[in-house]
Structure 1
Amino acid sequence: WVLHRRLAREYHGHHNLPFCRDVLDFLEDAQFIWTPYSEELIGTLPAYCTHGRHIWRASVPLTCLDIVEHHASERVFRQFGFPQSIPTQPAWDPLHYERDDRMRVDDTFIEWLTAQLGIWDSRGDLTPAPQHFPIEVYMA
C-alpha cells in the first residue's frame, strides 16, 4: 500500500493520521495481507538491526530530544509471529499532540519527560506477553 503524492498533497507530516485510517478502513480483505517477518528475512539483516531483538515488543515511549511518541507494539504482535488481539484505545492524553516547539518548557513538562525517560530505561521489563489465544475474526 503506497500513498501517492497527488492523493496526500494537502496532508502534512503528523496531520495525516485521519487520512491513513480512512485508507486502511477501505481496504478489502484480499488487499491486506499481514505476514509476520520470517526467520529467513530476519537472518539477512545486519547485526545492528537485530541487536536487542528481545525488546522489539516493548511498549514504551520513544524519545528524540523533547519529542516523545509511544511505541504501541501490542498493535502489531502478528508482525512478530504472535497471536494478535484486538488493540485497546491508545493511552495517550489528547493534549499530547497539541504541544509544539513554540510552547514553553516548564517544570511540569520536565517532570513528564523525566518520567518518560524512566519508562524507556526499564524497557527490558516492559515487554508485554502476547495473549495465548487468537481472536479468529480479527486474524481472518
Structure 2
Amino acid sequence: MIVTLQDIAIILGVRIDGYRNEINILRQSQVLWTPYTADLLGILSPLCTARSALYLAQVLLIAWVVVEWHMSERVMRQFGYQQHFLLEVPDPNFRRINGQGQASTDWFAEHSLYRRLWRGCSDFVQQPQLVSEDDADALRMYMNWYKSWARLSLIFAEVEPPTSYFSLAPVHNVF
C-alpha cells in the first residue's frame, strides 16, 4: 500500500496546497545542510536502513519509463561521509529517458540492460571516507568546486499550485 501526502492531508484534515511551492522559494540562507544524526538514524524503521550500503551505489534508477543516474557522490555528507568531487560522467553515452511520445514501447524489454545493471548494483558502491572533526577545509574545497559550475539560485514558485500529483509505485520489486 502506498500512502501519499494527499492521504495524510485527508486523514489529518490539513491543507497541503503550496507546500511544494514553499520549498521552491526557500533561499540558500534558510537551508542548513547537515548529516543525519545518530539519534535520527537510530529511530528509523529497519526498512530504511536495510542494505544501506546501496545508498552509496552509483546506479541507474528505473521508475517505469524514467531512467536516470543516482549520483551517490552528491549525498555523501548526508550520511556522514566526506563529499566527493564528481569529476567524470558515469556513462557519457547515456541519455536520460522519459518516455514522451513512446506510448507503445514495451518498457520492460526496453530496460533489460538497465535491469541487469541494477541486479549488480552492489558492485558499484562508492568507497566513502568518514568526515573528521576538522572537515572544514574539505567542505570549503568542495563548496568552491560546486559553486564553480552549479546554478545557485532556486526557482520561483508557481503562482497556482499543481492540480494533480503522480503517486509513486513500487515498481522496483519487478526487477
- For normalisation by structure 2, the TM-score amounts to 0.52
Query: Is 2:31 aligned against 1:4?
Result: no
Count of aligned positions: 117
Aligned to 1:17: none
Matches of 1:41 and 1:3 in 2, distance apart?
A: 24
Deviations 1:67-91 (A, max 9, x none): 2222111111111111113334655
Contact 1:84-1:139 at 8 Å conserved across structures: no
**In structure 2, distance between residues paired with 1:89 and 1:59:** 12
Q: Secondary structure at the match of 1:4?
A: helix
Helix, strand or coil: the match of 2:68? Answer: strand
Q: Secondary structure at the match of 2:28?
A: coil
Aligned-partner residue type, residue 86 of structure 1? F
Kept in 2: contact 1:59–1:126 (CA 8 A):
yes
Shift of residue 94 of structure 1? 7.6
Quote the offset at 1:130 in angstroms. 2.9
Contact 1:59 1:73 in 2 (8 A): yes
Aligned ranges for residues 1-140 of structure 1 at < 5 Å? 3-4=20-21, 27-28=28-29, 31-88=30-87, 90-91=89-90, 95-97=95-97, 99-103=98-102, 104-105=104-105, 110=110, 113-130=111-128, 134=138, 136-138=140-142
**TM norm structure 1:** 0.63
Given that 1:85 and 1:135 are in contact with CA atoms closer than 8 Å, whether structure 2 keeps it comes out as no
* Residue 14 of structure 1: aligned partner: none
**Structure 2 unaligned runs (5+)?**
1-18, 145-175
Q: Which has the higher contact order (CA 8 A, sep 6+)?
A: 2
2:160 aligned residue: none
Q: 1: distance between equivalents of 2:94 and 2:113? A: 18
Unaligned runs of 5+ in 1: 9-22
| Amino acid across the alignment from 2:141 | V
- Residue identity matched to 1:124: S
Deviation at 1:58, TM superposition (A): 0.9
Quickly say closer, same or farther: Cα 1:32–1:86, change in 2 above 3 A.
Answer: farther
RMSD between superposed Cα atoms in Å = 3.5
CA 95–57 in structure 1, closer or farther in 2 if over 3 Å, else same: closer
2:163 matched to which residue of 1? none
SS of equivalent residue, structure 1 residue 87: coil
* CA displacement at 1:131 relative to structure 2: 5.5
